Amino acid sequence: MKTKIKICGLRRKEDIVYVNAARPDYCGFILNVPQSRRNMDPEGLKGLLEELDPGIVPVGVFVNEDTNTILRIVRESGLKMIQLHGQEGEEMVRTIRETAGVPVIKAVSVKSREDVERAAGFPADYLLFDCGTGGTGRSFDWSCLEEAKQPYFLAGGIGIHNMKEAVERFYPFAVDLSSSVETDGVKDEKKIADAVHMLRSLT
């Protein structure tokens, strides 16, 4: 299966224009996470999704949000996938997956092989392996991925400089990019286009 690509941290109309032109497989919106500079108010999400190319899957990224709020935002906005990027437990992941009617990604902060092994217990459709809280541009020891037992998104410092190694060595379900496709803290049209083009050329 060809590795897919997700561009995360969209929040402006311009960002939608950029991804519509580049056509990644997924794009992520960080919702109700005020500590993130990529945070956006869910109230503005529906308008952005109405402009999004229907061939791109919109992912709502939540951090320790309560279940009912997540379900309401998904229902009202038209999100097609949920990413849980906090300390959500197995029961919460299971409940959201069974109730929301869309696939669920569970993010896991990786410091060792044991973190990857333990993640196999999450009842999510996909895992996402990252370094810390995400969006930092920092990577982790990818050799830990040898312990992965289910499809995963690979995040944490992924960019044009190391995408080839990531895809050809570990065959992730998808690579997840954010800071590497930004300039001065905002999404960069050329960097997004170049990243998607490189990924397509590899697979």
Interatomic CA distance for residues 155 and 161, integer angstroms? 14
- Say which residues have a Cβ less than 8 Å from residue 70's Cβ, sequence separation at least 6: 60, 62, 82, 96, 100
Instruction: Answer yes or no: 125 catalytic.
Output: no
Contacts by residues 103-107 (CB-CB < 8 Å, ≥ 24 positions apart): 105/59, 105/81, 105/153, 107/83, 107/134, 107/155
Write phi, then psi, for 166 (nearest 5 degrees): -60, -45
- 3-class SS shares of the chain: helix, strand, coil, % to 5: 40, 20, 40
Which residue blocks in the chain are alpha helix, DSSP H? Answer: 13-22, 45-51, 67-77, 90-100, 113-119, 163-170, 189-202
| Total residues found in the chain within this entry | 203
In degrees, to the nearest 5, what angle opens at C-alpha 171 toward C-alphas 167 and 175? 60
Among residues 8, 27, 144, 176, the one annotated as catalytic is 8
Instruction: Answer yes or no: 8 catalytic.
Output: yes
Quickly tell me which residue has 């991804």 as its tokens. 19
Write phi, then psi, for 147 (nearest 5 degrees): -90, -5
Among residues 27, 130, 144, 176, the one annotated as catalytic is 130
Catalytic residue positions? Answer: 8, 130
